[in-house]
Each structure stands twice: as C-alpha cells, then as structure tokens.
Structure 1
C-alpha cells in the first residue's frame, strides 16, 4: 500500500524510479542518455524551481523567500496586524486576505468575535487587503478558489495552508512570519529536503482522499520521514485523480509534519482554474527529465482501503475493516494510548461503544478545508440518498467549505438528499476542527472528515472530567456509517453509482459580498477596536544572565499546540494577549499559569528598578548559591523568568499563541529533546524565547519541575553563536548541564537578543 525508500531516488521522465546506489547514475544514463549528478538532478524538482524563483538571497542553501500572497483567519489576523502596526506597518505590500471562519459564532464571548471581524474589515480598508465575511468560506477553500496560482507561493497563519495540488507551494506558519512579509522582510530557512510521493494505480470505488492521506500519514509521521521537508507528488497515479481528490490529500500533508507540498499539474488542474474564471493562473508543472529526491514514498492507490485514524492522532491509523474485525483489541490499544495522552486525568474507555459486536458512533461530521469540498459532499449525498440516519443518539452534520460550493449543492439536489436523510447542512465554518462547533457529549465518539483528532479538539475539558473522542475518516465512509444509523461502515460496503456532477462556480457570490481593496490602501480609515482587542505588553531584551524556573514538565512523546494553548472557546480571546494567556496549558497542566505568574513577579520588579528578592522569597537561596560562584551576578545584569520542559513540543497548529502566551506570562525559554515542527520553534524565536535542546533522556533529566536553572552569560553566548550553552541546576551548589540552541540565522539571534520581533523592528 505505502512503501518508504531507505534512501534517495531518481525519477526518470516522471514515471520510472531508480533507488540511489553507487551505480544509480550509470543506470540513469543507460535509460535516458542523460549524464547528470545528484546535485544537478536535485535542481530538477518542481520544489527547487519554485523556491529558486522566490529566493532573494542569491544562495540556494540559505533561502530568503518573498511570498506572492498572504492569508489569515480571525483567530490570527488581529494579533498579526497589531504586531505589524507596532513594528511600523503602513500598507499591505502584497495581497493579504482576512477570512472569518474560526471566530464565527458571534454568540460566544459577547461582542468579542464580531469586534474582531470589524477590526479586520477596517484594516483591509486602511492597509489595502481583502476581507471575507463570516460563513462565506473557510480560509483554505477561499485561497484555492481565489488565490492559488501555478508556480506561486502563499504564506498562511494556519498550519493547513496547503495548495500544492493546484501548483502553489504554500506554507503555514505562526503570525510573526507573516509580519515579516508585511514589513517587506523575508522568510529565512535552509534549503529543505524534497521527498517524492510517487502515486501509482487508481483508487477503488468508495475510497476517498482522506483514506489516501491517512495511509500516508500513518507511514510517515512516527519516523519523521518527511519532517520539515517538501512533499512532491509525482507518478502516473496523479493523473487518475480529480482536482478535488488531490486537494483532499494535499491539505492533510500538514499532519506528516512536512514543510510544504507541490504536485505535478495537468489538464484537470487547468479545468479547475477555468471553472473558477482564472485560466491565466494555471501553469503546467513537471519535474525535469531526471530529478533527484532525498527520499521517496511509493503509494499504490489501488491497494488503499477505507481508513480510520483512531484517537488521539491522525497517525493512529487502521483500515476500517481491521477495526471491525478486531474491535476489542483496537479499542484496548486506544485506551492504552489514552493513558499517555490524557495523563490519567479521566476514566477513559470505548468498550461501551461495542453494540452487538459492532462499533456504534455517536456523531458524524464532514467539514472544513479537508472534508467540505464539492466532490466529498456529493459522494456522501449519493451514499445516503433514500436512507435515513435514525432517531437515536447518532447525529450527522455537513459543512460545505464555501458559499459557492453550498450554492451548487443546493442547485444539484445534494443538500435536499442529505437533509431528507436527517443530515443538518450548515454554513462554512472551521468549528468542528478545533472544538467550537458540534461538540459531542461526554464520552461520545465522533467520526469526522476534518484535519485533526488531538485530545481537546472536540471540546473536552479534562480538568472538569469531560472527555470525548474523535476519529478521522473520509466523507464517503462517514456517510456509509450514517446510512447504517451510526454503526461503523466503510463506503466500499455500498455498491452504488456515484453521480459525479459537474461543478459550476458562481463568482457573483464573492463579488457581491467580499471586500476587495484591489491593493489600494486608504489611510484615512479609522480602525475599529473592540474592548477585547489589546496591544502586546512591553517585553524586555535578553539579559546578560538568566535565572529560569521550570514551571511545567511534560513527558508525552509529542505535545501539541492545542495542549500548550487550547482551541475551542478560548479562541474568543485571541486578540487579548493577557486574557488568552490565562488559558495556557490549562488542559495539560492547570497549575502552570499560577506558577509562571509567581516567577514573573521577580522580572517585573527588575524592570521597575526594585529588588526581585523582595517579591519572591524562594529566589533568595537561589541567588545565594549562584553568587558563591558568580559574585558579580546581580543588579543590572540578571533576568528572571520561567521555562517548560517537553519531550517534543509543537505538533499541530501554527498558532503563534502557543509561544506568545508563555512569553507574556514571563517565559524566557522552552527546553525540549526536539521540536516537532519548524513553525513552533520559529514562534518561540519570534517571541524572544530561547529554543533550548537537551540531549538528556527525558526520564533522566538533571532538573525537575520546580527547579531553578542559571544560565550565565546567555546574551554573550547568543551573540557569539555558541554551539553549546553552559547552564546550572541550582541547589545548595551549582550542577552543570549543557543546552543547545541549534541553528539560528543572524536575524533570529538578533530577535532573541532584542526580546521579540516587535522590539527587533522597532530598532
């Protein structure tokens, strides 16, 4: 089904693969007549060509990328624009689209959400952007319909910014990276590795894009095969897939922890652009005659079966057939994993979901950038037509990804078929993906064609004893389960004919409702600030010496951004840095905020010119121990803050608040064995936090929660580009440990020294 090559591979004329080996280049020449080198062939990937066209550094090993367009939604754009304004923003220099698909339920949080929308509309007018009102489109569907272009690059402040199927290299990053683009700066990274995703065969009837995506995620996430690399989709199987099918696979590449994605394009993608009235944005993309990939994933589409990602990660993948055949064993395995994911905070079991030997599901959802596409919903309607979901606990909701899609589903009768069966069809909204819509009951089990099934993303509050579970599936099998009144069923069990109706895009829907400045700024516009929209608090520069208290210790194999700052109802506070920070780690370590604030008192005293020992008694023996060996450390050369330890933090969402909430609570650093994603590490750096790495095994750390660490001469170490940072665990004496910062660009070092990106741009 899915095979990973152990090393690199050459792709010949887009079809034949030769594994990298001592005689590989001779074989390449024999088959193609082309004499090349590995280095030359690596430049023949589509990814290399697009990156080269957008690189401004003149050095393809150290990229400085300028993007063509930017996109954000209403959880992120307020903070981004506020940061950019504080840093000198005068006008959006490139097209910037502000969609409103997360904080869309304006009954939640009083006036907060609609206040954010009005902030976005007035900023689009003032700075020359595009504003998409609530319920018109989810961020990524609007980008597909209106922004993507062959050979272009788009940066979005949402991790699922992926438009590779349309020939656009897109990346999801934290807000500060968009701020840099708004200030005419660059996105600085080393040249990423490029991994070929070779598609062969053709999906069987009933298998959808989520099935293919989950199979790939299951094969690549745990081993980091594509971590921070570009996934390049090639092979004869690409041509067998529709544009919507490719898009459905592509959006899920984020869950592999790759950096970006790109696909070869053809007439089916040209047709997509033609349908949307943007024929000029199509560009045919193919790798060169001989292209070299740093790795290769072979996917036989013909062997993919309906899949399910069981709680609590998209990589916890099984075939639905296997789940049904080994139900008790699979559910037991999920329960064992939950002991780690949930820290034993609640009693968790799925055994009561076994009814007459079958798995009973409480809820089905098809939604958002992954599930809400036209073809997915049409296929679901074909499956459920003439059936009904029943009148028991099971519910079924469908959220088309944009109003144009919704309109076409109304016109072709799909909405009527769904609603007659008992389905509720709703407007474009990302809520089910992050815990703000269709939240299940306590102990309920939900199947969703959405992007993630991490703990808490469905609304669970472990500290209140509330827990629900989400499994990811394709729309087709969700509809089959709905047609079977909630009993888990693969779509391949239904022998039906899919209508495959033609899609017609009505451009008037956006033309009549979306505000588009066409790049013309109007400085006379006054920005509307709701009472919840607050400026960022002042942040100090990195001190000469640093005292850190460990205020949280997380030993899960991977820590998601949802665990660092919960999604769901907390999203209403995204525009209020201090208000949102109250929720930091609240579902993982509820005592974190109080601990961090207690330590922060010392730093605030330093900034006020008073003695930190007067406000934090426990600091007195710490300073006494430090001054035995470092008598010069004290007034004027010390900073005090907090840090957390996590084994591998930062999987999941791009939201910068996972880092900024720690910063505004006095966080100076994270310590990890490794960082799950580049974007989370970048968020730490952009908020002036030190992304420390420890090579100590996480169960044998030299320090524990509650310990103080002393990092002498940290400012000088950052300035001198020290590879190893000397630090001490403070007890009666100082116990030396080594920390590392990893690769940092000169700009990243300067951001850390200044204390945050805002300070960096203020000068």
Structure 2
C-alpha cells in the first residue's frame, strides 16, 4: 500500500522514478545520455521554484520568505493584530483575511465572542483587510474558494493552512510569524527538504481522502520521515482523484508534521478555478524533466482500504477491516496506549464496553470542518444514507458543510433533505467539533469524525474533572456507512451504493453580499471596537545576564500536544485576554502548573519593583546563597522565572498561546529533547522564551531551581553549549543547547519578545 524509500529518488519526466543507490548515476546516464548533478536536480521540484520566487535573501540555503497573502480566524487574529499594533502597525501591507469560524457559537462568556468579531471588522476597515462573518465559511474552505492561486504562497495562523492541491504552497504558523509579515519582515527558515509523494493507481469505490491521508500519516509520523519538510505530490494516480479528494488528503498533511505541501496541477484544478470564477488563479504546476527528492513515499491508491485512527492520535491507524477482525486485541492495545495521555486517576478509560454482539458501537458521527465538510464528501455520505435511518438509540450524526456556498448547493441538489430524512442534523460552517467546542459527546462516549485531529480533549472532555471521551478519525463515507448501520462500525466498501457525483455550482453572491472586502482600502479614521475581554499584552522584560528558573512542570509523555499545553474548546473564548487565558495553561495536563508559575512570578515582579523578593518566596534566599558561594551574582539584576520540561512538546496546532501563556505567567524557557514542530519552537522564540535542548537523564526534577550563567552572552555570541546548574546544597552542573537560531531570533530573545524587538 505504502513504501518509504530509504534514500532519495530522481523523477524523470514526471513519470519514471529512480531510487538513489550506488548505481544511480550510471542509470541516469543511460536514461538521459548525460550525468546528473543532484544539487541541480533539487532545483527541479515545484517546491524549489515557489520558494525561490518568494525568497528575498539571495541565498537558497537561508530563506527569507515574503508571502502573497495572510489569513487568520477569530481565536488568533485578535492577538496577532494587538501584537502588530503594539509593534507599530499602520496598515495591512498585503491581503489579510479575517475569518470567523472558531468562536462562532457566541455562547461562552457573555458578549466576548461577538466582541472579537466586531474587533475584526473594525480592524479590516481601519487597516485594509477582508472580513468574513461567522458561519459563512471555515477558514481553509474560504481560502480555497477565494484566495488560493497557482505558484503563490499563503501564511495562516492555523496549522491546517494547506492549499497545495490548488498549486499554492501554504504554511500554518503561530501568530507572531504573521505579525512579521504585517510589519513587512520575512519568514526565515533553512531551505527545507522536499519529499515526493508518488501516487499511483485508482482508489476503490468507497475509499475517500481521509482514508488515503490516514494511511500516509500512519506510515510517516512516528519515524519523522517528513518532519519540517515539504511534501510534493506527483504521479499518475493524481489523475484519478477529484480536486475535492486531493484537497481532503492535502489538508491532513499537517498531521505528518511536514512544513507544507504542493501538488502538480491539471485540467481538473483549472476547472476548480473556473467554477469559482477565478480562472486567472490557475497555473499549471509540475516538476521539471529531472527532479530530485530527499525522500519518496510511494502510494498505491488501489490498495488503500477504509481506515480508522483510534484515540488519541491521527497516526494510531488501522484498517476498519483489521479492527473489526481483531477487535478486542486492538482495543486492549489502544487502552494501554491511552494511559500515556490519560495519566490522571480521575478517569477510568475503556473502549471494550463499546463492543456489542462482537461489533464496535459508536455513539456519535461528525462530518465537519476543513477536512470533512467538502461538497463531494457530503454528497457521497448522502448517497450512502439515502432511504435509511440512523436509529433512535445513542448514535447521532451531525454534518457541517465547510462554507455557505457549499451548503447552498447541497440544499439545491437535495443532499441536505436526504440527510435530514435519515435523522442527521445539518449545521453551519463552524470548526467547533474539531477542537472541542461543539458536538461534545457524553462521558465515555466514542465519536467517529471526519475532521483533522483526535488528541485528548479535542472532543471537549475534561480529564481533570473526571470526564473523558474519545475521537476516532474516519472518512465521511465510512461514517455514513456506520450511520446506516445505526452506530455499528462499518467500512464504506462494505456498502452497495451508487455514487451520483453531482456537479458543483458555486454561488459567489453569498460572499459578495456578506463579506467585507477592504483590501487595499485602509481608513485610519476608523476606531477599533474593543470589548471588555480584549486586553493588551503585559509588559515583558529584556533578557538579563543570568537567569534563575524554577521547574514548574515536568512531562515525560513521548509527545506533548499544544492542546495539552493550552486546551482548546471553551478556553478559546479567552484568547483575546492574555491574562485570562493563561489561567488555563496545562490545566488538563498539570493543573498545579499555573499556581507554581505564578508563585515564582511574584518574586520577579518584586525584583522589578525594587521590593524584597525573598518576602514572597523564602526559597530564593537559599537559592542565591548557594549560587553566590561559587559566582558573583547580583540577585537584583538576575531575572527569575519558570520553565517546563517536556520530551517532545508542540505537536499539533499552530496556536501561539501554547507559548505566550507560559510567558504571561513568567515562563522564560522550555527544555526538551526535541521540539515536535518548527511552529511551536518559533512561538517560544517569538515570545522571548529560550528553546533549550537536553538529551539524557534529567539532572533536575519538579520544583528544582536552575541557574543559567551568562545566558545573555551565550545567546549573543552564539555559544553552542550553555552551562546550567541545578541548585541543591551545591551547584550541579549540566549542559544545555539552543540549537540553530537566526540573528533576528537571537535578538528577539535578548529583547524579551517580538513586541520589544520591533519597538527597538
């Protein structure tokens, strides 16, 4: 089904793959009649061409990228604009689109959700942006319909910013990276590796994009095969996929931890742009006659079967056939794996109670968001369910079209009526089920979803309150097949169905009548509307010569997600309030963290105010006594803060708040063996936090103090090894590293955060 090449591969004329080995040059010489230089062949990828066209550094090793467009949603744009305003923003220099698809419920915390929306509209008017009202479109569907263009680049403040199937290289990052673009700075990265994804064959009837995506994720996540690389989709199998199917695969590439994606384009993509009344957006994209890939994923689409990603990660994949055949054994394994994430005695977790008469019963199905809410997914689900009934037991089915134009066409062609007749409910364009803010199942419930993630808490449960539910990811077709069997897990390939595949017609008047388009029309006279929950960032200090850090949390899980660092769901309503949101930091992973961090922060506040810092923390007096036995250190000029240790933090969402909430609470550093994504590490840096690396047996534990000597000098002088000391009865020395940092990133850390850096 899927093969990973051990080394790189050459692609000739878009069709012939030649795996790299000792004889590869002889083979290439025979095929082409000339030698091939690998470095030149690397320039033959689509990714290289796009990055070269957007690079401003003059070096293709060290890129400084300027994007064509930006996009954010309503739990990220407030913080981004507030940061940019504090840094000197006067107008949006490039098209910036503000969508409203995350805080759309307007049901938590009084007026604060709608206040964010009004803030966004007033900023679009003042600074010259576009504003998409709530329930009109999911951020990524709007970008596909209205923003994507062949050969262009889009930066979005959401991790699933992926429009590669339309020929657009899109990257999801934390908010500060968008701030840099708004201030006409650059996105600085090393030239990423490019991994080819060669698709061949034709999918079986009933196999959908989520099945193909989950199969790929299962093959590449754990081994880091595409980590921080660009996935470039090629091969004859692309011709056998509709554009909706390509989009559905593409959006899930985020779950591989890749940096971005790009696909070859064809007449079907051209038709997509024509349908959406933007024919000028199409560009034919293909690798050059010779292209070299740093790795190659070979996918036989005909061998892909309906898949399921069991809790609690998209890479925990099985075929539905395999699961049903080995039900109790697999459930036992899933329960054991889950204990790593559910390390709290407040919950008793099992899935074996879902087995009824030898079959797996689920309580909920959801087809939603940027992954599941597409036109073709919902039409196929309607075909499977037409004339059937989902039953009147626990099982329920909810369907969320990804945009109002998609919803409108589903109404016109009868799919909505067909689905409603089965007992399913149809909702508006909203991302809530994907991050735990809508369709929360009952305690101990199992939900199958065509959405993007199934991390702990993504479904809305609160483990620390004794609540737990599970999400398994599946394709819309198999969800519909399960619904047709009233909740018993069923693969769509087991159903006898004729898919009608109706043509899609795009009604642009929906957006023309409702979307505010102020691109390029900034009006400085407009007053920004601030609700009472929208607050400024607190002041942040420059880095001092030395640091004292208290270990406020230690997490030994193999991977720590951003959902665990700062939970999603109802907490999203507070993302416009840095201090309010910070109260939720690690709340579902380490509920005592906030109290520990705030306690040590009192000492730093006293130090800055010139007050007695020992009065609020008597431990510090002994800490400095131990330090001063070996080093001449002035406590009054030594910054004091907290840090967390995690093995591999930052998997998943791009949310900057996973880092900024720590900083707001006085966090100054993370220590990790590695960082799961570039996004999270960049967020730490942009908020002035030190992204330390340490590999080995930990020399410190929870509540220990760490002294880092001459840290300011180490950052400024690019020292590879940084001396640190655990403060016991005496100092216990160990080594930390920071990894590669750009000059700008070093300066941001020295200044204390991105805002300070731009203020000068």
Specify if TM > 0.5. Answer: yes
Q: What SS is found at the alignment partner of 1:155?
A: strand
Unaligned runs of 5+ in 1: none
Cα deviation, 1:503-542, whole Å, max 9, x if unaligned, reads: 0000000000000013110000000000000000000001
Partner of 2:191: 191
Tell me the CA shift for residue 428 of structure 1. Answer: 0.2
Tell me the CA shift for residue 633 of structure 1. Answer: 0.5
Residues 257-268 of structure 1: pairs in structure 2 closer than 5 A: 257-268=257-268
Tell me the CA shift for residue 315 of structure 1. Answer: 0.1
Partner of 1:640: 640
Partner of 1:686: 686
- The answer to whether the aligner puts 1:226 opposite 2:233 as a matched pair is no
Distance in 1 separating the partners of 2:307 and 2:22: 38
Partner of 1:85: 85
Distance in 2 separating the partners of 1:24 and 1:613: 68
Partner of 2:441: 440
2:738 to 738, 741, 744: 741
Partner of 1:468: 469
- The answer to whether the aligner puts 1:138 opposite 2:134 as a matched pair is no
Partner of 1:107: 107
Tell me the CA shift for residue 34 of structure 1. Answer: 4.7
Distance in 1 separating the partners of 2:594 and 2:472: 31
Residues 496-645 of structure 1: pairs in structure 2 closer than 5 A: 496-630=497-631, 632-645=632-645
Distance in 1 separating the partners of 2:649 and 2:562: 7
The alignment yields a C-alpha RMSD, in angstroms, of: 0.7
Cα deviation, 1:32-86, whole Å, max 9, x if unaligned, reads: 3353200000010000000000000000000000000000000000000000000
Residues 278-357 of structure 1: pairs in structure 2 closer than 5 A: 278-345=278-345, 346-357=347-358
Partner of 1:53: 53
TM-score, length basis structure 2: 0.99
Tell me the CA shift for residue 107 of structure 1. Answer: 1.9
Tell me the CA shift for residue 677 of structure 1. Answer: 0.1
Partner of 1:172: 172
Cα deviation, 1:594-642, whole Å, max 9, x if unaligned, reads: 0000000111111112232222101111100000001x21144301000
Partner of 2:757: 760
Tell me the CA shift for residue 239 of structure 1. Answer: 1.1
Unaligned runs of 5+ in 2: none
Distance in 2 separating the partners of 1:73 and 1:108: 17
Distance in 2 separating the partners of 1:419 and 1:519: 43
Judge conservation of contact 1:12–1:28 (CA < 8 Å) in 2: no
Cα deviation, 1:538-589, whole Å, max 9, x if unaligned, reads: 0000111000000100000000000000000000000000000000000000
Distance in 1 separating the partners of 2:578 and 2:34: 57
Judge conservation of contact 1:150–1:283 (CA < 8 Å) in 2: yes
Distance in 2 separating the partners of 1:205 and 1:32: 39
Partner of 1:712: 709
Residues 17-96 of structure 1: pairs in structure 2 closer than 5 A: 17-96=17-96
Cα deviation, 1:110-156, whole Å, max 9, x if unaligned, reads: 00000000000000000000000000000000000000000000000
Distance in 2 separating the partners of 1:716 and 1:665: 25
Tell me the CA shift for residue 15 of structure 1. Answer: 1.1
The number of residue pairs the alignment matches comes to: 759
Distance in 2 separating the partners of 1:413 and 1:268: 24
Distance in 2 separating the partners of 1:531 and 1:687: 24
- The answer to whether the aligner puts 1:379 opposite 2:376 as a matched pair is no
Distance in 1 separating the partners of 2:402 and 2:460: 21
Distance in 2 separating the partners of 1:218 and 1:422: 33
Tell me the CA shift for residue 659 of structure 1. Answer: 0.1
Cα deviation, 1:261-282, whole Å, max 9, x if unaligned, reads: 0000000000000000000110
Partner of 1:398: 399
Distance in 1 separating the partners of 2:284 and 2:27: 28
Judge conservation of contact 1:12–1:32 (CA < 8 Å) in 2: no
Judge conservation of contact 1:65–1:187 (CA < 8 Å) in 2: yes
Q: What SS is found at the alignment partner of 1:512?
A: helix
Judge conservation of contact 2:62–2:191 (CA < 8 Å) in 1: yes
Q: What SS is found at the alignment partner of 1:534?
A: coil
Partner of 1:368: 369
Q: What SS is found at the alignment partner of 1:273?
A: helix
Runs of 4 or more above 4 Å deviation: none
Distance in 1 separating the partners of 2:461 and 2:719: 43
Cα deviation, 1:437-488, whole Å, max 9, x if unaligned, reads: 0000000000000000000010111111000000000000000000000000
Distance in 2 separating the partners of 1:440 and 1:606: 47
Residues 127-166 of structure 1: pairs in structure 2 closer than 5 A: 127-166=127-166
Q: What SS is found at the alignment partner of 2:379?
A: helix
Judge conservation of contact 1:371–1:450 (CA < 8 Å) in 2: yes
